[in-house]
Amino acid sequence: GDSVTQMEGPVTLSEEAFLTINCTYTATGYPSLFWYVQYPGEGLQLLLKATKADDKGSNKGFEATYRKETTSFHLEKGSVQVSDSAVYFCALDQTGANNLFFGTGTRLTVIP
């Protein structure tokens, strides 16, 4: 069945450090891939998405590239800020009907 494996956290970085959160997936066919972010006390927010191989999603300085050959969708940011502290979830949608399958989440803490 479908599965999403995320880099285990928590991750603690200093402000302006480079961020990578790894995500790999198992799915039949060609799923769409997403990164969601959950700030403390808030609902999940879509951070970025990619719907086909080699697509690059980007938003707020974050980027992720859909790599079909490695079944990966790693999240990167060149310079993190304290305000980026949150839990990040990788997710896939196999059916195209927004039935999302989430990874377990990676907690990021950025210290000044």
Partner 1 sequence: DAGVTQSPTHLIKTRGQQVTLRCSPKSGHDTVSWYQQALGQGPQFIFQYYEEEERQRGNFPDRFSGHQFPNYSSELNVNALLLGDSALYLCASRYTGQGLYEQFFGPGTRLTVL
Q: Point out which residues bind partner 1 (CB under 8 A).
A: 4, 32, 34, 36, 41-46, 49, 51, 89, 91, 93, 95-105
In whole angstroms, how close is the CB of 32 to partner 1 at the nearest point?
Answer: 7
Nearer to partner 1, 70 or 98 (CB): 98
Alpha carbons 55 and 74: distance in angstroms, whole number: 12
Sequential DSSP letters for 47-65:
EEEE-STT-EEEETTEEEE
The alpha-carbon radius of gyration of the chain (Å, integer) is: 13
Using the minimum distance from each CB to partner 1, give the nearer residue, 79 or 104.
104
For tokens 């302006």, the residue is: 16
Q: How far is the CB of 64 from partner 1 (least distance, A)?
A: 14
